[in-house]
Structure 1
Amino acid sequence: MASLVLQSSLTPNFLSLTSSPTSTSYSYFHLPLNPIRLKRHSFTRRRRRSFVLRCATGGVSVREPPPPPPPDLEGSKSELIESLKFKLLSAVSGLNRGLAADEDDLRKADSAAKELEAVGGPVDISVDLDQLQGRWKLIYSSAFSSRTLGGSRPGPPIGRLLPITLGQVFQRIDILSKDFDNIVELQLGAPWPLPPVEVTATLAHKFEIIGSAKIKIIFEKTTVKTTGNLSQLPPLEIPRIPDQFRPPSNTRSGEFEVTYLDADTRITRGDRDELRVFVIS
């Protein structure tokens, strides 16, 4: 048995610590002057050696060092999101915004989008409303695989009966005025030898937020503006069809859900299962 004796320089009293091969225990005498108290602990050598040493006069304590901090989970998630965004953009690149997509392309794009949506988690537009602001460029729409401007909705065919070439498509969103404009660049064929006519059609809407991630848009008007050689011409507002003559399927409103949103990428899913991918422009 080993014995260790500590002597205080201020008093002749002693504090003894006794240890044995299997266990160690602490005990103390009552000291009349400047006592040093050692908190009673009992533990075996096989257990964690965790103890607290307290001084009655100075209030000093010595504890085990804290455990190491957890790994940077947020950093790992950010890297994974960037990787999945690259995978999605790679899946839709070369598809001419979906006009050249076949069934296999549609499945790959949908699968890549679902992976990013799952890691990104639920979208709450009320929290991330500022990230909607700006001009967004459409880089993919699953509905364009139908080869019509309306996608799964009625719309003029592209490159069939009408000589229409689809250019860039944008969404311009203003969160203060609640403006939501779909902007489409088109090239209209003309009889030879006249050059094609380039126009920009702006479909103006107002929007409102439904729930946490769904947006409802209400159509207001369509304005067409010539560009290129005819850019000097004034814009033309296309008259709206009166409601009594409007086909039942041609409604003035639509809804879609924002399934992923960050500072430069947005994914939406429409009310007719249309997947759209946008990047900020």
Structure 2
Amino acid sequence: MASLSSLIEIPTSIFSSSSINNSLYPQKGFPFLVKVNRLPQRKRSFVLKSAVDEVSVLDPPPPQNAKIELITSLKFKLLSAVSGVNKGLAASEDDLRKADAAAKELEAVAGPVDLSTDLDKLQGRWKLIYSSAFSSRTLGGSRPGPPIGRLLPITLGQVFQRIDVLSKDFDNIVDLEVGAPWPLPPLPLPPLQVTATLAHKFELLGAAKIKITFEKTTVKTKGNLSQLPPLEVPQIPDALRPPSNTGSGEFEVTFVDADTRITRGDRGELRVFVIS
């Protein structure tokens, strides 16, 4: 009967290659064979681990970061769509469609607004850069309002909203140039520069709807007449006020962050503001 050593003995011909020197390995038994076979396995394991580590470093950013980047890109798209139309006064039908589509895309990605837990997002002075209502060429949008450049030569300047969440003050501030309706001899009068402040109080209805209630209008002259005191414009009596002009209004905040705000009003208008 063959001995146990003769049964497990491996011929030296297995190791006879240019990469292995047989003279350095005189033993031909099984223990040596196991030791040689494990060396390449350890190397492969190390290489595999290195590859896995490299893949983990190249993983895409977390979804939240990707969403922030997408919102930033969509904000830029919206601001590009509403630029060059003079706050909406020079907007064509195609401009209106592009602005509305860009706003809807941003609103969909950002999700619903909830001001009930974060009303401070409204705080500050906001500059109006676009209103779809101005495309009607009146300051009143879809409701009756002073015409621009028709009966009165009114030039609309900057428009702001000043919001104080503590006092619930909500002021619409409008810069205007008002010219004389006809030339007066001997020389035509220069346009009158004024700032009109329409003071309101606001309240939050639900998660994102704002109701504003009109209080008063104050007009302050600018330029050469800036030394004149502010003038409070008398209110129209309720009995004489048109049904469409109730002194209050509602709008929904559909997007807001640290520097951009989108609202959709009860007149159907889209407004875009940036922090000022």
Q: TM-score, normalised by structure 2?
A: 0.76
1:90 partner amino acid? S
Secondary structure of residue in 2 paired with 1:100? coil
The structure that has the greater radius of gyration is: 2
Which structure has more RCO (C-alpha within 8 Å, separation ≥ 6)? 2
1:61-100 alignment runs, 5 A limit: 71-100=61-90
2:137 partner amino acid? R
Distance 1:258 1:128 in 2: 12
1:250 pairs with 223, 242, 245, which one? Answer: 245
Name the one with the larger strand percent: 1
Name the one with the larger helix percent: 2
Question: What percent of counterpart residues are identical?
Answer: 82
Distance 1:120 1:228 in 2: 43
Q: 1:72 offset after TM fit, Å?
A: 1.4
Corresponding residue of 2:150: 160
Corresponding residue of 1:221: 216
1:117 aligns to 2:107 (yes or no) = yes
Q: 1:70 offset after TM fit, Å?
A: 7.5
Alpha-carbon displacement from aligned partner over 1:173-192 (angstroms, at most 9, x marks no partner):
00000000000000011344
Q: 1:131 offset after TM fit, Å?
A: 1.3
Distance 1:117 1:101 in 2: 21
1:142 pairs with 105, 110, 132, which one? Answer: 132
2:177 pairs with 187, 191, 201, which one? Answer: 187
Corresponding residue of 1:51: none
Q: 1:103 offset after TM fit, Å?
A: 0.7
Distance 1:208 1:250 in 2: 19
Q: 1:128 offset after TM fit, Å?
A: 2.4
Distance 1:241 1:193 in 2: 31
Distance 1:102 1:189 in 2: 26
Corresponding residue of 2:236: 241
1:15-94 alignment runs, 5 A limit: 71-94=61-84
Secondary structure of residue in 2 paired with 1:89? helix
Q: 1:133 offset after TM fit, Å?
A: 0.3
Q: 1:250 offset after TM fit, Å?
A: 1.1
Secondary structure of residue in 2 paired with 1:97? helix
1:261 pairs with 252, 256, 263, which one? Answer: 256
Corresponding residue of 1:102: 92
Distance 2:63 2:261 in 1: 23
Distance 2:267 2:192 in 1: 32
Secondary structure of residue in 1 paired with 2:75? helix
Distance 1:193 1:239 in 2: 28
Distance 1:171 1:128 in 2: 19
Structure 2 unaligned blocks of 5 or more:
1-52
Secondary structure of residue in 2 paired with 1:77? helix
2:66 partner amino acid? S
1:203 aligns to 2:193 (yes or no) = no
1:135 partner amino acid? R
